[in-house]
Amino acid sequence: MRFLLPTLLLTLLFITCKGYAQRANFIRVYDLDGEKLYKGYITEADENFLHLKRGGMNYSVPYNAIGHIKGYRSFGHYAGGGAGYAALAGVGAGLVIFSQSMNDTSGIGGAVGAGMAAVTPVVFALAGYIGGLVIYATKKKISYDVNGNKTQWDYFRNVYYGTTEDATTVENEINNGLLSPDTNGI
């Protein structure tokens, strides 16, 4: 029982760290009609194509076919993933609690241990869900409207490669319609 709280806190820390330690920019690419074309990690954005990789497959999308680029994952990804990882950790902790309680010779320890073993994954899953909620709320949600326009495509490339850093430039680009207003930072 005394290991439950440290285990819960370490699980929550692991989930939070995993959410922030993604290796590359995961994006979703939508066509001019708003239908999802591809999703994956950006490998390169050259003059005319956006190159993505996902699951061992490489994709190249011409800029004039891109309507919108969404640069963040949905809420369900973080909350569901956090709850799932934490529930698995909770099952492990529950099994440890149950096996320790079976050593009690009075008989009541086994019942309490079984109850704790059943509740632990639920508590851990709730903590993981809250951790996923925190990650989703604090991550940048950036999206770009390209609409097959070369100027907007070049702006996306400049932001991606870090050549556009000035806050007034970003504000001007939002006002000119090159950057979607659902951005909370670059």
Closest CA to 186 of 125, 152, 150, 140: 140
Please give the structure tokens belonging to residue 28.
């979703």
Please give the structure tokens belonging to residue 16.
């939070």
Closest CA to 90 of 129, 137, 125, 132: 125
Q: How many angstroms separate the CA atoms of 145 and 28, rounded?
A: 12
Across-strand partners of 58? 53
Winning range, highest mean pLDDT, from 5-14, 35-44, 110-119: 35-44
Check residue 49 and give its pLDDT: 92
Angle at 85 between CA 80 and CA 91, to 5 degrees: 120
The residue extents of the domains of the chain are: 1-21+75-139, 26-70+140-186
Please give the structure tokens belonging to residue 37.
């074309």
Determine whether 155 is exposed, middle or buried from the number of CB atoms within 10 Å of its CB (0-12, 13-18, 19+). Answer: buried
* 156 pLDDT higher than 80: yes
Q: How many angstroms separate the CA atoms of 81 and 32, rounded?
A: 31
Q: How many angstroms separate the CA atoms of 40 and 44, rounded?
A: 12
Closest CA to 19 of 88, 79, 69, 70: 79
Q: How many angstroms separate the CA atoms of 146 and 152, rounded?
A: 5
pTM: 0.54
- Please report, as a single letter, which amino acid is at residue 50: L
Task: Tell me the pLDDT tens digit for each residue of 18-53.
Answer: 555 555 678 899 999 989 989 888 888 888 999 999
Check residue 167 and give its pLDDT: 45
Check residue 173 and give its pLDDT: 60
